[in-house]
Chain A
Amino acid sequence: QVHLVDSGGGVVQPGKSLRLSCATSGFTFSSYGMHWVRHAPGKGLEWVAVIWSDGNNKFYADSVRGRFTISRDNTKNMLYLQMNSLSAEDTAVYYCARDFYGGGRDPLFLFDFWGQGTVVTVSS
């Protein structure tokens, strides 16, 4: 079965950094684009970033571009999100999610499997 396990969340002060991780299993990780999606309290779901299966292409939401970096290690089946210059607006549950398309194709930008989420709270 496909499993995605998010980790790395916590309480962090404004302006600081945090790195999220997503451990995956049960599928050929290197064949799938991967995403981060967040859900802020009292707000809707917000797509954050995508990385192509080979790691060569990345794309970000305007709200995080220049501050967040998505990366992956296909030898370890791991996905990461480096978050810098955090602010209160980044407080959310962060989910890693697998793209619907596999086989090394360009991501379709919908999500067929999600991690359980990791909570990030930015507060002084």
Chain B
Amino acid sequence: DIVMTQSPDSLAVSLGERATINCKSSQSVFYRPNNKNYLVWYQQKPGQPPKLLISWASTRGSGVPDRFSGSGSGTDFTLTISSLQAEDVAVYYCQQYYTTPLTFGGGTKVEIK
């Protein structure tokens, strides 16, 4: 199974500041024939189901604000919130869909400092 490791487990960021979350996979999730990374980021707010933020490592989902961006390739990925807003308080998960079983990172809790 591909193991997804997120860091940090939690972080507190001041409003308007940058938040950076890392996700590392135990093997590459890059598929060379289509030049795509099979990596997705979800946001889960308290009491709500996860929401798709970014697919293919860097493609924002429908309606996702442009302060959210994804980067990385192969085994190392980053989710960046460029200017943290109060509504961004949530747990963020990465997931690989390169192969089954699908696997998720353990989550990163983002709070306001």
A interface residues with partner B (beta carbon < 8 Å): 44-47, 59, 61-62, 95, 97, 100, 108-112, 114-117
Contacts and interface: CB of A to CB of B under 8 A. Distances in A.
Interface of B: 40, 42, 48-52, 55, 61, 93, 95, 97, 100-107
A92 to B, nearest CB: 13
A44 B107 CA distance: 7
Contact of B52 (A46, A109, A111): A111
Nearest to B39: A110
Nearest to B107: A44
B93 A44 contact: yes
A47 B40 contact: no
A44 B91 CA distance: 11
Contacts of B42: 111
Contacts of B93: 44-45
Contacts of A44: 93, 104-107
Nearest to B93: A45
A-B pairs, top 4 by smallest CB distance, nearest first, are A114-B49, A47-B102, A109-B97, A45-B104
B52 A112 contact: yes
Nearest to B98: A109
A46 B104 contact: yes
A110 B49 contact: no
Contacts of B97: 108-110
Contact of A115 (B49, B55, B106): B49
B43 to A, nearest CB: 11
B100 to A, nearest CB: 6
Contacts of A47: 101-104
A108 B56 CA distance: 11
B50 A62 contact: no
Contacts of A100: 52, 55
Given A45-B95, A95-B49, A114-B49, A109 B100 contact: yes
B49 A117 contact: yes
Contacts of A112: 52, 61
